[in-house]
């Protein structure tokens, strides 16, 4: 977007500190309504230009006061850094807290803002139906964009009075380039996901067990990425007594820079999720020309082309997921890698997503 817009990012980082300093910071805020902020000029990669800063932790545990504290940190740093440059539009990613902060900056500086909501309200710790700041932020935004249709019904229930547009997510097709299947013989199944309830790790481990029981070709690997140490323990505990753990490669923490190689080197992506707002990891695999075997969550539904880029199973159906993987391993079902890539490139690749966002920005600025 940088060839048509001067884009800069405001990014705050909470700094953990001692209990004594938290008390001092809290008292300072209560007395002055100000938060100490410190510039972090080289903390974030550029371009685009990032106004990075950190602000110290405090001790109070009251929701409204905590929120005021965070908003004050952003407002102060905004005033300190954005002096000779005034944005025409603010784009917040997620209502809580970015949208709430953007609403405050918008109100104070008379600048319109839009929100792209990535998160399901169920993921949030607060009750959005009774959170006035949350509802005000989404209802006063110039545009409200959603990465998935599942968010629309959820936000309707929270008191949304705003028209929305489902835009999906952007995947860089240059980083996630077409990669033909490895002919070495090893069948690699990739799973990417945090260790949270929605990812359904119970179904994941049962699927691995069932696959290992019915496959006639023992040369396979399941690669589990991003599960953290807690997820790793869960997988090891569930699989070590069944003699399957030696077929599983676990990578608890992986950088964004390393992720593309995992997608390129797999044969198929597996998703056991019960809830996905978009399914960015599935889209990244498809961009590499690899099929997806997934439960029928709404994130997969936005990407799925029947008989074109993957196989859909019922949520919790470990046996069905295992059988779908076997069909791909035996080449009973074969997908065209180029067709898989094109199925998402045309919707979420650079040109498609850029044109979509350009129209939204220009409309918001005209209004």
Phi, psi of 96 (to 5 degrees): -110, 115
237-258 as b/e: b if 16+ CB within 10 A:
ebbeeeebbebbebebeeeeee
Cα dist. 165→141, 168, 304, 322, 353 in Å? Answer: 13, 9, 19, 35, 13
Residue 116 host element (H or E): strand 113-117
Specify the length of the chain in residues: 367
Mean pLDDT of 346-367: 90
Q: Which residue has the higher pLDDT, 252 or 155?
A: 252
- Domain coordinates of the chain in residue numbers? 1-85, 88-170+349-367, 187-346
pTM > 0.75: yes or no: yes
At residue 252, the pLDDT reads 95
Q: Which residue has the higher pLDDT, 142 or 181?
A: 142
Q: Which residue has the higher pLDDT, 288 or 182?
A: 288
At residue 126, the pLDDT reads 47
pLDDT tens-place string over residues 20-48: 998 999 899 989 999 999 998 877 777 78
At residue 131, the pLDDT reads 66
**The CATH number, out of the four listed (3.30.450.20, 3.40.50.150, 3.40.710.10, 3.40.50.2000), of the domain defined by the range 187-346:** 3.40.50.2000
Indicate if 187-346 has the same CATH topology as 88-170+349-367. Answer: yes
pLDDT band at 115 (very low <50, low <70, confident <90, very high): very high
* Cα 10 from chain centre: 19
pLDDT tens-place string over residues 146-155: 988 777 766 6
Phi, psi of 277 (to 5 degrees): -75, -35
Residue partners of 60: CB distance under 8 A and separation at least 6: 26, 66, 69
Phi, psi of 51 (to 5 degrees): -90, 90
Q: What is the CATH number of domain 88-170+349-367?
A: 3.40.50.2000
For 93, other C-beta atoms within 10 Å of its C-beta total 14
299 near 149, Cβ under 8 Å?
A: no
Residue partners of 317: CB distance under 8 A and separation at least 6: 203, 295
């Amino acid at each position: 977007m940088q060839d048509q817009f001067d884009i800069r990012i405001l990014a705050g980082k909470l700094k953990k500190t001692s209990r004594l300093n938290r008390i001092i910071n809290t008292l300072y805020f209560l007395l002055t309504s100000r938060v100490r902020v410190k510039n972090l000029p080289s903390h974030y990669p550029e371009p685009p230009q990032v106004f990075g800063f950190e602000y110290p932790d405090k001790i109070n545990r009251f929701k409204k006061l905590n929120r005021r504290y965070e908003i004050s940190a952003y407002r102060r740093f905004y005033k300190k850094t954005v002096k000779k440059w005034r944005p025409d539009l603010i784009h917040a990613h997620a209502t809580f807290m970015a949208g709430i902060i953007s609403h405050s900056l918008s109100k104070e500086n008379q600048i319109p803002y839009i929100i792209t909501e990535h998160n399901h309200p169920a993921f949030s710790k607060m009750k959005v139906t009774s959170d006035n700041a949350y509802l005000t932020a989404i209802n006063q935004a110039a545009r409200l964009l959603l990465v998935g249709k599942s968010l629309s019904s959820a936000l309707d229930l929270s008191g949304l009075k705003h028209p929305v547009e489902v835009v999906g997510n952007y995947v860089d097709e240059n980083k996630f380039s077409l990669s033909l299947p490895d002919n070495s013989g090893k069948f690699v199944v990739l799973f990417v996901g945090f260790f949270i309830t929605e990812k359904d790790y119970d179904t994941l481990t049962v699927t691995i067990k069932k696959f290992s029981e019915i496959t006639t070709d023992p040369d396979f690997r399941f690669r589990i990425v991003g599960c953290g140490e807690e997820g790793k323990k869960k997988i090891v505990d569930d699989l070590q007594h069944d003699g399957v753990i030696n077929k599983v490669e676990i990578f608890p923490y992986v950088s964004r820079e390393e992720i593309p190689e995992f997608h390129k080197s797999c044969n198929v992506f597996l998703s056991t999720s019960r809830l996905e707002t978009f399914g960015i990891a599935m889209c990244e695999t498809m961009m590499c020309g690899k099929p997806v075997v997934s439960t029928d969550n709404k994130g997969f539904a936005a990407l799925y082309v029947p008989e074109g880029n993957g196989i859909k199973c019922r949520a919790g159906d470990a046996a069905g997921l295992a059988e779908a993987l076997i069909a791909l391993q035996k080449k009973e079902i074969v997908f065209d890698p180029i067709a898989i890539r094109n199925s998402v490139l045309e919707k979420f690749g650079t040109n498609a997503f850029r044109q979509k966002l350009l129209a939204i920005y220009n409309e918001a600025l005209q209004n």
